[in-house]
Amino acid sequence: MPEDNKPATTSNDSNDVLMGVLAYLGILCLVPLLAAKDSKFAQYHAKQGLTLFGLEIVLVLLQWVIGFIALMGGLGFFGLFAMLIWLVWIGTFVLSILGIVNVVNKKMVPLPIIGGINLIK
């Protein structure tokens, strides 16, 4: 994980930026992960995007479980929990925007909160 906030130097800037932006668009994080193996910049952002995508999958699963419980009549606490999940969804959207801004500025900066989590090495 880079420790500085300096712009990254890449061999093919336009391709790296495209791959970096794809990294923060849900399942499309797999495109740079698999197609740009030789780009340190694209791989860095693909791994960040994969962590973000993993969080989104967990949120979907939680929403399904809470929805099922709510249908069975247990609203109370679960209604509040469902609202909190929506706040986390907004947070994932904000993190995606921050990641795309870092890509466009050609920076390899970890995302807040989840930046230190690496699902793959």
Indicate the SS3 state at residue 107: strand
Name which of 110, 106, 114 is nearest 2 in CA terms. Answer: 110
Q: 45 and 25 in contact (C-beta within 8 Å)?
A: no
Mean pLDDT across the stretch 51-55?
A: 96
Asked whether 120 and 53 are in contact (CB, 8 A), the reply is no
pTM above threshold 0.85: no
Mean pLDDT of 57-84: 78
- Radius of gyration of the CA atoms of the chain, in A: 17
